Amino acid sequence: MDVLYFAWVRERIGRPKDRIETQAATVRDLVEELRAREERYAAAFEDLSALRVAVDQELSDFDASLAGVREVAFFPPMTGG
């Protein structure tokens, strides 16, 4: 599964993308795995209320299932326009 990071999440983790083999059932489970990896991941995912998630390029939420999912992205609230 591709895990993408944007904006300050990308900067805090220090990379735009990870390729991850995971058995995580939900986005929240995936976040727990990532937090456990390294301090910079723990820092990036410290406050989930400051984060948004997209599952296969659709805006989603942390309880979303990862069954069959190819791409998950984490980022702060969007500031387009």
Partner 1 sequence: MDIRVQEAAFDLGDEARAFAERQRGMGAVVTFTGIVRDLDGGDLDVMEIEHYPGMTEAAIEKIGQEALSRWNLGDILVIHRYGRLRPDDLIMMVATSARHRVDAFQGAEFLMDFLKSRAPFWKKEVTGQDAAWVAARDEDEDALSRW
The residue among 9 and 24 lying less far from partner 1, judged by its C-beta, is 9
Q: Are 60 and 54 in contact (CB under 8 A)?
A: yes
CB of 53 to partner 1, least distance (A): 11
- Binding region for partner 1 (CB under 8 A): 4, 6-8, 10, 54, 57-59, 73, 75-81
Nearer to partner 1 among residue 9 and residue 30 (C-beta): 9
By DSSP bridging, strand 2-5 and strand 71-75 are: parallel
Nearest distance from C-beta of residue 36 to partner 1, angstroms: 26
* Beta carbons within 8 Å of 68's beta carbon, 6+ residues apart: none
